[in-house]
Structure 1
Amino acid sequence: MTQSDPHRRNLALVRRLADGMARLLGRRPPALQVAALCLRGGRGREEVLLITSRETGRWVLPKGWPMKGRSLAGAAQREAWEEAGATGAVDRSPIGHYHYDKIVSGGLGRRVTVAVYAMHLRKLEPHFPEAGQRELGWFAPSEAARKVAEPELAALLASLPGRLAQRHAVPG
């Protein structure tokens, strides 16, 4: 056990208590969005696709709200095409999650949980709904982690090589 383990447990307890109090006082639970973690390259040489946000120009993953008639993974896949022209096979279960505060009308923040689905690139289409509205860039996971603003997303990206190695591991 490291010194940070008790701190993490205490922090988790405080968060659970705060969330419980907030629910009692009427705050809505976090909203859910889905994101596509688009990957290209082989094992150990993967690159991550980041796009710029239309509003702020920050580097982000393609993401959006769940869609009626689509699974969460299918909605993430659709967002990748709409926002970046990316097509490919998407994993059925999320590779991770992160949280951020989305500014909504009136300047109020709303806590959003984002389920992140790995998508293995087949092709980048030249024509897609948001073409010309965003920049696209391919980055090594460590570089992508430095480019994003959300700390939990940065941690997910930094840990990506290990997560992918676990998924590719053959049981022995």
Structure 2
Amino acid sequence: MIRVIGEVLTGLLGLRPPQLQVGALCVRRHKGKREVLLISSLDTGRWIIPKGWPMNGRTLAGAAAQEAWEEAGVRGQVRPGHIGSFTYLKKRDSGMHLRCEVRVFQIEVQSLSERYPEAGRRKREWFTSEDAAERVAEDGLKQILLAL
């Protein structure tokens, strides 16, 4: 019933359901502490996690692992189920915004390469989950980081 009402309201208000994306929460143990890897966005330079669109021929977890490689040079063990999700507004080249839901998959980092597809285009830095939560803009992502 609630789903039907939501679909009716979506149609009446002209709202679209969010577009699905996948995100990679890359974690490691360093000097006895758990740390998470954040990268800079290409457009504004704000701190984010690697994320992107689902990929044909890959599970959502597999797509998240691929995004971690392409955007951050991370190879590691991805957990199969997502650990949470958050929504954000993605600014399109046209200037319009697209509402996206990002399902976040945790990756235990095994290696970090200096050579990867987006090397030189992004900064990457390790943070405690609390420090990372202070640096990201999305409230839902903050909550996922603080729950680690």
Same topology, TM > 0.5: yes
Q: Percent identity?
A: 48
Aligned match for 1:124, one of 92, 112, 116: 112
Q: Which stretch shows the higher mean deviation, 62-71 or 100-109?
A: 100-109
CA apart distance, 1:21 = 1.0
Task: Name the CA distance, whole Å, in 2 between partners of 1:18 and 1:70.
Answer: 30
Q: Structure 1: where are the runs of 5+ without partners? A: 1-12, 161-172
SS at match of 2:9: helix
Is structure 2 residue 20 aligned with structure 1 residue 32?
A: yes
Q: Residue 70 of structure 1 aligns with which residue?
A: 58
Task: Name the CA distance, whole Å, in 2 between partners of 1:137 and 1:20.
Answer: 44
Q: Structure 2: where are the runs of 5+ without partners? A: none
SS at match of 2:130: helix
Task: Name the CA distance, whole Å, in 1 between partners of 2:93 and 2:120.
Answer: 26
Is structure 2 residue 17 aligned with structure 1 residue 23?
A: no
CA apart distance, 1:27 = 3.2
Q: What amino acid is aligned across from residue 128 of structure 1 in structure 2?
A: Y
CA apart distance, 1:20 = 4.1
CA apart distance, 1:113 = 0.2
Q: Residue 54 of structure 1 aligns with which residue?
A: 42
Task: Name the CA distance, whole Å, in 1 between partners of 2:7 and 2:107.
Answer: 32
Aligned match for 1:84, one of 42, 66, 72: 72
Which structure has greater helix proportion? 1
Q: What amino acid is aligned across from residue 97 of structure 1 in structure 2?
A: S
The alpha-carbon distance between structure 1 residues 52 and 19, as it changes in their structure 2 partners (threshold 3 A), is farther
Larger Rg: 1
Aligned match for 1:141, one of 129, 134, 139: 129
Task: Name the CA distance, whole Å, in 2 between partners of 1:97 and 1:140.
Answer: 20
Where relative contact order (Cα < 8 A, 6+ residues apart) is larger, the structure is 2
Task: Name the CA distance, whole Å, in 2 between partners of 1:22 and 1:133.
Answer: 38
Q: What amino acid is aligned across from residue 31 of structure 1 in structure 2?
A: Q
Which structure has greater strand proportion? 2
Q: What amino acid is aligned across from residue 159 of structure 1 in structure 2?
A: A
After TM superposition, the score normalised by the length of structure 1 is 0.78
